[in-house]
């Protein structure tokens, strides 16, 4: 198992109020208790860019089987008016405009298992 995890949150400026920082802080705390060094890098993207969450450079949809990127259900944020390129995911038949915390945790563990 790798002993380091780099989580990169690529976000547009309007997403700063998200609950994601709290989820990432909890994951960091749990993994550091297991001896894993965790670094969270926040990258603010220019307007119109698609947000992403990467674990050691790999997006969630490439780490977890059954996760696919889909067009979002508009109206969940105010980015559409700004011309943003949005993403949502589908997992087990459910659509999510934001990645659920349990999938974030699973993706972190999977990234650590990869060589």
- Tens place of pLDDT for every residue, the chain, 115 residues? 458 999 998 887 765 556 788 899 999 999 999 999 999 999 888 877 778 899 999 999 999 999 998 877 665 555 555 555 567 889 998 998 888 999 999 999 999 987 4
Q: For residues 83 and 65, what is the distance between their CA atoms, to the nearest angstrom?
A: 30
Domain ranges, residue 54? 4-113
- Is residue 3 a contact partner of residue 36, using CB atoms and an 8 Å limit? yes
pLDDT recorded at residue 45: 84
- The pTM score is 0.80
Percent helix, percent strand, percent coil in the chain, to nearest 5: 30, 30, 35
pLDDT recorded at residue 20: 84
């Amino acid at each position: 198992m790798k002993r380091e995890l780099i989580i990169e949150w690529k976000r547009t400026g309007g997403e700063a109020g998200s609950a994601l920082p709290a989820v990432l802080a909890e994951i960091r705390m749990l993994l550091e208790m297991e001896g894993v060094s965790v670094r969270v890098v926040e990258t603010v993207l220019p307007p119109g860019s698609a947000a992403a969450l990467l674990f050691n450079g790999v997006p969630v949809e490439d780490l977890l089987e059954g996760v696919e990127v889909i067009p979002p259900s508009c109206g969940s944020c105010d980015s559409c008016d700004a011309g943003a390129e949005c993403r949502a995911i589908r997992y087990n038949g459910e659509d999510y405009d934001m990645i659920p915390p349990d999938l974030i945790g699973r993706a972190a563990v999977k990234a650590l298992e990869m060589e």
